[in-house]
Amino acid sequence: MKTVDKYLFQALDSYPYSLEETIESLEYALSYDDKNTMALCLYGQVLSDQLFKYEEAKQYFQQAISINIHAIEVYSYYIYTLVLNEDYEEAMKLIDFALTIKGINKVEILLKKVLLLESQKKFKKAQKVLKETQLETLNATYDCTIEETEKRLTKKLNKVSKKKKQVSKKKK
């Protein structure tokens, strides 16, 4: 095993429970190989999920993809960061591209597309993509996530339709 892998495993093992150990291990890993896409991805993840530094996180994800466009571990986290940062157009382009990459977890990417559409309040489109996601699943791993997402979208659609009914009643 390479030294970089040892530190990468330590970082993965520490995240998210010990952020200090995670960062320390990532810095060692990147000092041995500054082009390690997994280390760059995890660093971006820490910046996005823990420190809410979306622009800095995007730089790490972009760097990883520029090193290896087929670094499938990066796309899901990068897309999520783009959605959180409200970079919707960029997120959609990245989703469309990611779905063309051989070996990528299409379910994970499609769930990010649902999240993107939901954050844009496009609930019906999100539900359509969720149905597509169900067709892509190959095991029960995502069943709970899909069910909870479906419930959440249905609730939101019901609220929107109630508001529309109330508004139309007031106009009459």
Closest CA to 85 of 109, 107, 106, 56: 56
Q: Taken in order 80, 86, 89, 90, is the CA torsion positive or negative?
A: negative
Per-residue pLDDT tens digits for 56-94 = 999 999 999 999 999 999 999 999 999 999 999 999 999
| Residues contacting 51, CB < 8 A, separation 6+ | none
d(CA 127, CA 116): 12
At position 27, the amino acid (one-letter code) is E
Picking from 83-92, 135-144, 155-164, which range would have the lowest pLDDT averaged per residue?
A: 155-164
Name the residue range of residue 13's domain: 3-171
State the pLDDT at residue 49.
Answer: 97
Picking from 104-113, 115-124, 153-162, which range would have the lowest pLDDT averaged per residue?
A: 153-162
Domain CATH number, residue 36: 1.25.40.10
How many Å is the maximal CA-CA distance in the chain?
A: 73
Number of domains making up the chain: 1
State the pLDDT at residue 127.
Answer: 96
Per-residue pLDDT tens digits for 26-54 = 999 999 999 999 999 999 999 999 999 99
Task: Quickly tell me which residue has 């730089």 as its tokens.
Answer: 59
Mean pLDDT of the chain: 94
State the pLDDT at residue 146.
Answer: 96
Token representation of residue 86: 């409200």
Confidence of residue 162 (pLDDT cuts 50, 70, 90): confident
Reported pTM: 0.92
d(CA 37, CA 39): 5
Per-residue pLDDT tens digits for 115-125 = 999 999 999 99
